[in-house]
Structure 1
Amino acid sequence: MRDYALAPTTASTLTGGLADSIFETADRNPTLPVLARRPDTAAAGWEEITAVELRDEVVDLAKGLIASGISPGHRVAMMARTRYEWTVFCLALWSVGAEVVPIHPTAARDQVEWILRDARCVAVVVEDEPAVMTVGTVCQGLPGLKHVWQLDAGAVPALVQQGALVPLTTVESLRRIVMPDSTAAITYTSGTSGRPLGCALSHRGLAYPCDTLLAGWGHTAALPGEQASVLAYLPFSHVYGLMVMVICLRGGILMGHEPEMTENALASALRSFRPTYLYAVPSVLEKLYKTFLRTAHQHGRGALFERAVDTAREFASVQERQRLGTGAGPGLELRLQHALYERTVYRKLRSVLGGRVLRATSGGSSLSRELTLFFEGIGILVHDGYGLTESSGGITMQPLGREKSGTVGQALPGVQIQVADDGEILVRGPSVFQGYVGDDYATRAALRGGWLATGDIGRLDPEGYLTITGRKKDVIITSSGKSVAPAPLEQRLRMHPLVHQAVVVGDDRPCVGALLTLDPDFLAHWRGALSLPGDAPGREAREENALREEIARAIASANSTVSRSESIRVYRVLQEPFAPDNGMLTPSMKLRRDAIARHYAAEIDAMYRARSRAAQRPGAAEPADWDDADDVFR
């Protein structure tokens, strides 16, 4: 077991609760824009809210909460998309000492009921009428739930009016009794297996990684003399999104809100808001890259784009070797090529994000090295970070000037990382959670002598850079006893433009297999670009064969990164994508592997039976022969 404490502890500056941030900013710099909102989603312009304006809104809403009976220690659920009112409500709740319980707005009825009951919520804030109906179906079994406030029905102005007679001193008195170790949020785990667990996160725990990142990396979020800005679109119901909000509020970073996670809505918001820093998850960055590629092909510039991609990756790779002290910088020819593509390609790609993004952070799951190098090569350095709900978010970050693609960086100052003998990552530091609400057994299992057992597996290199290889519970054991981590294979598969999602399977099976879904936009473009002569039935057959060959190339590319015993031998392409609303993904877009395995049990059995029959044929000893038995248009 190796122990890494890579930097001295950086003490948090928090002396009270998280709501103090906006009060302090309003006193220090009242006219500083801190939040931005659009009058409606179709509007191009953004309305900026100053620190003093936000503070006054928070105080007025806090008065309404007090008048409604909300007291210190009460838990109030927030079941809404990432919108302006979410932030105001959260700050108001923290101002009166209440605890926020985020719930994803699309959570299933049973999950909503479980969280409201498990957390013993006294109130819930919802967004619209369907959410009211969802909560209404579970209210009868929740006698402690006293209020359901609907944002779209005027909940905020109604509460403000209700609290008009509550004196300001009451809010101030409650705010001042909130201590750093008071619980700020009960944030539930993804629930990829079993019921989600409520993680009690303190004000200090949430502030620590945010303050540490601001102290060490905050100056890189914008050009000198320019206010940094971030578009918040990740769900506040997930600790990553909550961390983005806290970073912005404590760092004086202008934060816009985009509630829609659709490609068109996000693209429009990025172009109009023009952030200087981007927080993302791998699926967003993967989709962005595929959109670039598809658009280039549609305009007849596919070959140019692919050459530009190769140059970007090579340029970034050479730069990386230089900053790590293992190589010289880019040569003259490479610099000239890069400069040419900067004028013709790269700056146009950056304009899709508004044209001002300098750096980005990817979290939620590991980002592929190829994608990291691509974005760095076009002028956006992406930090692949690591954290989890139980650690209040961030655990690692890339050290400035020594960023290493393919890793999640080094431990944050004050955080210690150990890698156990079985590869599990253990963490200790000020941001580790207070425990699981109402589940002492699970808390004891997660906290071992002060160390948080993350459930993730990985490795540390001699310089302390951490690489995540997967989840401990996700490791596949084939019938021959071979252990296979599915995440790297899935990551590699998703890099192919046609592959949208990938799930590697193979527990107690003779070999590794995969379930794939295709990217509908790129598939439509790919089909349109095919020039296949002949009659319709003949063209369909040739198109099916061409698609089969293309998917086989994606499989072969993924297999090239692992040993033969770990390689994918069989696969199926599914018609329906994995999504939260069909129960195959969590709200934070993580795969529900158990649910997928149950739902597609028949398809998994069928592809292995086809492999078995193919393997029994004389001479059928190669994966390509087994794949021929699979119908990819399943």
Structure 2
Amino acid sequence: MVKSLSEEQPDLSVIEQRASSVAQLFIDRVAASPTREAFRYPVGEQWRSMTWRQADERARRIAAGLVALGVDAEDRVAIAAATRLEWALADLGIMLAGAATTTIYPTTTADEVLFIVSDSGSKVVFAENDDQVAKLRDGRDAIPGVRKVVLIDGTGDGDWVITLEELERLGTAYLADHPQALDERIAAIEPDSLATLIYTSGTTGRPKGVRLPHDAWTYEAAAVDSTHILGEDDLQYLWLPLAHVFGKVLLTLPLQIGFPTAIDGRVDKIVDNLPDVRPTWMGAAPRIFEKVYGRITTMMAEEGGAKAKLFDWASGNARKVADSRAAGTSASPLLGAQHAVGDKIVLGKIRDRFGGRVRFFISGSAALNQDVAKWFDAMGMPILEGYGLTETSAASCVNRPDANVVGTVGWPVPGTQVKIADDGEVLIKGPGVMQGYRGLDDVTSQTLVDGWFHTGDIGELLPSGHLKITDRKKDLFKTSNGKYVAPSLIEARFKGICPYASQFVVEGDGRKFVSALVTLDPDAIGDWAASHGMPGADYRTIVTSDAAREMVQEYIDELNLGLNRWEQVKKFVILPRDLTVEQGEITPSLKLKRTVVTRKFKDELDSLYD
């Protein structure tokens, strides 16, 4: 029996009594648990710990340094860095100074960095390294408002570029002369004061700056806290880009709830870090879960023999138990006993790869394949899929551990309203909704109508209150036969079927049939090639081979069995390389830039229709 939204009993007083600003939220957290761990961060091969009091000391020095540089209330301060401790401390310092953070991905091109810094009116920029400084220095004439660049790793130039250490020394000196400066700044922050300016990574035209006030973040944190899915004794592993709204909300939750965060944005270190960190939960994009699922299932299949059979037996029993739980029924005593044995000798070892303590994951940013979700649930590490946009401060809906409906993005967080427009578009209203787009009043008025944000997503509300997203409104296309196709659902389904897939881009707008661009996962396909007569072959040789094409065709045939005739993929191209963030084909949060990809590979797609 699926639990209904009407059965949830959040503590609404937590929302009603929320802090007036992110700065006040942080101050309250430091006062409540000064000696508890706030952050865990890597230094070389070791992990070090920082308490809330220690974080407060550094954040205050940064804040005072910014004030000394002439940063006033609601002035913008940009951060161009990967996810790391210093990003979090800089953001906290900006909040304590009463200023507003402008987020910039470290992979953003120089031209776009200059646009964001200029458009935001940022006075100071935190730059991670010399590469980020170079983007600013080469276009310095375009950003005359930038007074200083604060370099996290490296040496300053004694003039325009100073180090983070120098900024903190400046702050220490300022506080000695103005001990009440920060208290006065914090007291002056209103709930509707600007806290964050996040530029959407649009696929066409310039990105738009989304204005998010303090109240949006304190609300999001309080709303999640009111559901009681997280507690002070949890431990978060945070690798998501903090320039993205999903990462930013995960950085805010600890201020409300008090749990520590292990922070390291190096994606290639996730697998190595998890057994050391031993988190109880983690947020991630679907691609991470797809890679893990593909890696483990293919590895076991290639292992063969008794080990593969034991894995299939244990995971099969676990899947049946998970299905029974989802249906609100109990597994039979025999199945329960078999599952207990399989869990002890097989599935427990898989959980150990994640540290052995994961209670759940939270997935966002793109559609999650249901087969992948069910597999993780069977492994004892359920994925709670959520939903939100930059314009809604990320967390608009999320599944709950005791009401997790795979294939949905869960219930609205308490205090947020969701409704479906006549054309199927999802509309959202609540404290988490943006103030508007910076300098774009006309665009704001088109998307924010009577307080309702028009998401651009198509979805439906189930009787239980769970929201199900069908596709992006702009991504839906119609074939020349007049049939509508929702590409993202097909793409997500294929990634659950084919463990070697990296990207699967469905196309067919105005054409007589549906086609696809395919890329294969560089890690997984190497092992496959070794067992198919191509050991040591390079990626291009592998993916352009007849054997690889036959393999992909078999998985597409399986995919097509579950699709309507007009949705079926008739032809496909395997690209000679994977899609990358660096090439601008996927976002730093691992979301497909569909328009960019279909335009870039237009010739390959056109060839399928000759």
Q: Under a length normalisation based on structure 2, what TM-score does the superposition of the two structures give?
A: 0.92
Name the residue aligned to 2:322. Answer: 316
Change in CA separation of 1:579 and 1:131 when aligned onto 2, cut-off 3 Å: same
* Farther off after superposition, 301-310 or 47-56: 301-310
Name the residue aligned to 1:165. Answer: 173
Q: State the alpha-carbon separation in 2 of the partners of residues 260 and 165 from structure 1.
A: 34
1:340, CA displacement in angstroms?
Answer: 2.0
1:12, CA displacement in angstroms?
Answer: 4.2
Q: Per the alignment, in what secondary structure is the counterpart of residue 247 of structure 1? A: helix
Name the residue aligned to 1:281. Answer: 285
Change in CA separation of 1:134 and 1:541 when aligned onto 2, cut-off 3 Å: closer
Alignment of 1:128-527 (within 5 A): 128-153=129-154, 155-166=163-174, 167-219=178-230, 227-262=233-268, 265-297=269-301, 299-300=303-304, 301-322=307-328, 328-495=329-496, 496-527=498-529
Q: State the alpha-carbon separation in 2 of the partners of residues 12 and 348 from structure 1.
A: 43
1:21, CA displacement in angstroms?
Answer: 2.5
Contact 2:19 2:218 in 1 (8 A): no
Change in CA separation of 1:73 and 1:193 when aligned onto 2, cut-off 3 Å: same
Output the amino acid matched with 1:279. G
1:20 aligns with 2:24: yes
Q: Per the alignment, in what secondary structure is the counterpart of residue 470 of structure 2? A: strand
How many residue pairs are counted as aligned between the two chains? 585
Output the amino acid matched with 1:22. F
Q: State the alpha-carbon separation in 2 of the partners of residues 543 and 576 from structure 1.
A: 10
1:93, CA displacement in angstroms?
Answer: 0.6
Q: State the alpha-carbon separation in 2 of the partners of residues 121 and 484 from structure 1.
A: 42
Q: Per the alignment, in what secondary structure is the counterpart of residue 207 of structure 2? A: coil
Change in CA separation of 1:525 and 1:191 when aligned onto 2, cut-off 3 Å: same
1:217, CA displacement in angstroms?
Answer: 2.8
Deviation digits for residues 222-265 of structure 1 (CA, Å, limit 9, x no counterpart): xxxx7211111000000000000000222111011112112xx1
Change in CA separation of 1:218 and 1:543 when aligned onto 2, cut-off 3 Å: closer
Q: State the alpha-carbon separation in 2 of the partners of residues 121 and 307 from structure 1.
A: 58
Q: State the alpha-carbon separation in 2 of the partners of residues 437 and 465 from structure 1.
A: 32
Q: State the alpha-carbon separation in 2 of the partners of residues 92 and 541 from structure 1.
A: 49
Contact 1:80 1:103 in 2 (8 A): yes
* Farther off after superposition, 204-213 or 522-531: 522-531
Deviation digits for residues 427-470 of structure 1 (CA, Å, limit 9, x no counterpart): 11111000000000110011112110001111111222111111
1:209, CA displacement in angstroms?
Answer: 2.1
Change in CA separation of 1:53 and 1:557 when aligned onto 2, cut-off 3 Å: same
Deviation digits for residues 341-399 of structure 1 (CA, Å, limit 9, x no counterpart): 21122111111111111111111112122112111111112110111100011111224
Output the amino acid matched with 2:204. S
1:14, CA displacement in angstroms?
Answer: 2.9
Q: State the alpha-carbon separation in 1 of the partners of residues 454 and 348 from structure 2.
A: 43
Output the amino acid matched with 1:212. A
Contact 2:21 2:218 in 1 (8 A): no
Output the amino acid matched with 2:346. V
Q: State the alpha-carbon separation in 2 of the partners of residues 319 and 180 from structure 1.
A: 42
Name the residue aligned to 1:620. Answer: none
* Structure 2: tracts of 5 or more residues without a match: 156-162
Q: State the alpha-carbon separation in 2 of the partners of residues 577 and 51 from structure 1.
A: 41
Output the amino acid matched with 2:38. V
* Farther off after superposition, 433-442 or 287-296: 287-296
1:193, CA displacement in angstroms?
Answer: 2.9
Output the amino acid matched with 2:505. V
Change in CA separation of 1:12 and 1:555 when aligned onto 2, cut-off 3 Å: farther
1:543, CA displacement in angstroms?
Answer: 10
Q: State the alpha-carbon separation in 2 of the partners of residues 12 and 295 from structure 1.
A: 50
* Farther off after superposition, 496-505 or 289-298: 289-298
Q: Per the alignment, in what secondary structure is the counterpart of residue 43 of structure 2? A: coil
1:117, CA displacement in angstroms?
Answer: 1.6
Output the amino acid matched with 1:321. A
Contact 2:5 2:464 in 1 (8 A): no
Contact 1:190 1:590 in 2 (8 A): no
Change in CA separation of 1:302 and 1:194 when aligned onto 2, cut-off 3 Å: farther
Q: Per the alignment, in what secondary structure is the counterpart of residue 341 of structure 1? A: helix
Name the residue aligned to 2:577. Answer: 576
Output the amino acid matched with 2:153. D
Deviation digits for residues 154-211 of structure 1 (CA, Å, limit 9, x no counterpart): 6221011112232221111111111221111001112133321111001111121221
Cα RMSD over matched residues?
Answer: 2.2
1:545, CA displacement in angstroms?
Answer: 4.3
Contact 1:424 1:453 in 2 (8 A): yes
Q: Under a length normalisation based on structure 1, what TM-score does the superposition of the two structures give?
A: 0.89
Contact 1:192 1:591 in 2 (8 A): no
Deviation digits for residues 519-560 of structure 1 (CA, Å, limit 9, x no counterpart): 12221211222369xxx9xxx999944433321222122223
Contact 2:22 2:218 in 1 (8 A): yes
Output the amino acid matched with 1:237. A
Contact 1:477 1:484 in 2 (8 A): yes
Change in CA separation of 1:118 and 1:543 when aligned onto 2, cut-off 3 Å: closer
Output the amino acid matched with 2:463. P
Output the amino acid matched with 1:161. R
Q: State the alpha-carbon separation in 1 of the partners of residues 325 and 290 from structure 2.
A: 22
1:511, CA displacement in angstroms?
Answer: 0.6
Contact 1:274 1:357 in 2 (8 A): yes
Output the amino acid matched with 2:289. L
Contact 2:122 2:146 in 1 (8 A): yes
Q: State the alpha-carbon separation in 1 of the partners of residues 408 and 315 from structure 2.
A: 21
Q: Per the alignment, in what secondary structure is the counterpart of residue 187 of structure 1? A: strand
Name the residue aligned to 1:626. Answer: none
Contact 2:60 2:93 in 1 (8 A): yes
Alignment of 1:12-161 (within 5 A): 12-40=16-44, 42-43=45-46, 46-153=47-154, 155-161=163-169
Q: Per the alignment, in what secondary structure is the counterpart of residue 396 of structure 2? A: strand
Name the residue aligned to 1:567. Answer: 568
Name the residue aligned to 1:614. Answer: none
* Farther off after superposition, 56-65 or 20-29: 20-29
Output the amino acid matched with 1:285. F
1:303, CA displacement in angstroms?
Answer: 3.7
Q: State the alpha-carbon separation in 2 of the partners of residues 415 and 27 from structure 1.
A: 29
Q: State the alpha-carbon separation in 2 of the partners of residues 386 and 351 from structure 1.
A: 28
Change in CA separation of 1:531 and 1:580 when aligned onto 2, cut-off 3 Å: closer
Change in CA separation of 1:191 and 1:302 when aligned onto 2, cut-off 3 Å: farther
Change in CA separation of 1:214 and 1:605 when aligned onto 2, cut-off 3 Å: same
Q: State the alpha-carbon separation in 2 of the partners of residues 211 and 387 from structure 1.
A: 16
1:5, CA displacement in angstroms?
Answer: 9.2
Q: Per the alignment, in what secondary structure is the counterpart of residue 70 of structure 1? A: coil
Q: State the alpha-carbon separation in 2 of the partners of residues 238 and 543 from structure 1.
A: 35
Contact 1:312 1:373 in 2 (8 A): no
Q: Per the alignment, in what secondary structure is the counterpart of residue 223 of structure 2? A: helix
Q: State the alpha-carbon separation in 1 of the partners of residues 389 and 279 from structure 2.
A: 25
* Structure 1: tracts of 5 or more residues without a match: 323-327, 610-634
Q: Per the alignment, in what secondary structure is the counterpart of residue 393 of structure 1? A: coil
